[in-house]
Amino acid sequence: MVGPYRGLFSTPGVKGFVIAGFVGRMPMSMLGLGIILLIEALTDSFAMAGAVAATVNISYAVAAPLTGRLVDRFGQARVIVPLTLAHGTALTGLMLCAQFRAPAWSLFATGVLVGASAVSLGSLVRARWSHLLAGSARLHAAFSFESVADEVVFVAGPALVTALATMVNPYAGLIVALVCTIAGTLAFAMQRGTEPPVNRGERRSGSPITIPGVALLSCVFLAMGAVFGSVDLITVAFAEEHGAKPAAGLLLAAFAGGSLVSGLWYGARRWKLSLRGRFVRAIGVFAVGLTPIALIGDVRVMAPALFLAGLAISPTIITGYTLIEQLVPARLLTEGMSWVSTAVGFGVALGAWAGGRLTDAFGASNAYGFSFACAILAVIIGIGGSAWLRTPIPQQ
């Protein structure tokens, strides 16, 4: 499986932006869970914790397309440097509000600023790959590698933030996330040689979301984001209900671990099946894989069940980003990819809010039913609108 990935790093400058992008993306699996662990520790309410985390995700989801449009217009470095500094300031403010027991509204206010200033670094990394490998068959391997990198982040991040928050200090996980954000994103911005050029002479009217295929993918990823957000919060509650709260990070790592393994396998293959066919099949497998988790009441059994449930995540995401790359004009590519981040962000917010409410009302095991229902919704939307996913250029 390693062979197809070796040639990706021979291009000058690639290693620099890949490493910086990886460090800068670590907080994407740590921020929401770190906020949930911090607020729950202070308020003893998963509903309140989920609401604050949802606020962060909603503001991020609203701002991401605008950030993508600014990047397409002015370039990556000019946009993400000030945003990263603002994000660091806002996250520090949220932790200070929590530390000094400020009114609840202050947590939501700073949460809005944290989300609005967050950078969708995964979209920027993929935009660089698209610029460097446009029209090349290696782009499939590059997108697969980035999905695997995302899953490494989601394997390591939850375990790290949970260990720090439960064994060191409730604030420790967010502090580490803050350091990774600033160091990784600023280092990424300094890699100017691989930054996609800005063509100021091209017309930039319209938005990628008006393209039917992009709108459909956004709806599918909205439902998938609800799965991710609810599983994150419900799994923390599930582990706590069974007297093993520190194991929550390991359970979530198992979920991401399944996606990591399937991402390596998927990227190493040369596919004859169309992108559309792959996408529909992947979301179908995703829904089927989630079925057992609503029926399990043992932490030891839940870990392998979550691993199996995660196997279809990477193939779905890889195919989704490849579809976006084929459906969206190059001049709007960053914004187009940002709509995926926006959809997932809204979904995560909805999932965190609903997961918190349902967990407090019915218990964690029953709340997993919401995650399964969202996966079924993703399948229905994806299959129903799959005709919009036909791409002009066949992919191998």
Residue-level pLDDT, tens digit, the chain, 396 residues:
556 667 778 777 888 999 999 999 988 888 888 998 888 888 777 777 878 888 887 898 888 889 988 988 888 999 999 999 999 999 999 999 888 888 889 999 999 999 999 998 888 998 898 888 876 777 878 888 888 888 788 778 877 888 898 888 889 999 999 999 999 999 999 988 888 888 665 555 578 888 889 999 999 999 999 998 899 889 888 888 888 877 887 888 888 888 888 888 887 777 778 888 889 999 999 999 888 887 887 888 898 999 999 898 888 988 888 888 888 887 888 888 888 878 887 888 788 888 888 988 888 888 999 999 999 999 999 999 888 887 654 444
Q: What is the pLDDT of residue 394?
A: 45
Indicate whether 30 and 101 sit together in one domain: yes
Indicate whether 31 and 84 sit together in one domain: yes
Q: Quick check: pTM over 0.85?
A: no
Indicate whether 163 and 236 sit together in one domain: no
Indicate whether 73 and 184 sit together in one domain: yes
Place of tokens 């909603």: 58
Look at residues 201, 196, 208, 181 and name the one whose alpha carbon lies nearest to residue 78.
196
In a domain, 16, yes or no: yes
In a domain, 242, yes or no: yes
* Domain finish residue from 178, 197, 216: 197
Q: What is the pLDDT of residue 98?
A: 85
67, two tokens: 């950030």
Q: Which domain, by its residues, includes 57? A: 1-197
Number of domains making up the chain: 2
* Domain finish residue from 169, 197, 225: 197
Indicate whether 259 and 191 sit together in one domain: no
Place of tokens 């460097």: 132
Indicate whether 190 and 312 sit together in one domain: no
* Residue 320 near residue 279, CB atoms below 8 Å: yes
Indicate whether 60 and 34 sit together in one domain: yes
Indicate whether 151 and 249 sit together in one domain: no
Q: What is the pLDDT of residue 342?
A: 85
What lies within 8 Å, CB to CB, of 69 at 6+ separation is 204, 207, 332, 334, 335, 338
* Domain finish residue from 143, 162, 197: 197
Indicate whether 28 and 170 sit together in one domain: yes
In a domain, 202, yes or no: no
Indicate whether 374 and 269 sit together in one domain: yes
Q: What is the pLDDT of residue 200?
A: 61
In a domain, 259, yes or no: yes
DSSP string, 312-370: GHHHHHHHHHHHHHHHS-GGGHHHHHHHHHHHHHHHHHHHHHHHHHHHHHH-HHHHHHH
The whole-angstrom separation of Cα 156 and Cα 153 is 5
In a domain, 17, yes or no: yes
388, two tokens: 């919009």
Tell me, what CATH number does 330's domain have?
Answer: 1.20.1250.20
Look at residues 143, 100, 121, 120 and name the one whose alpha carbon lies nearest to residue 60.
120
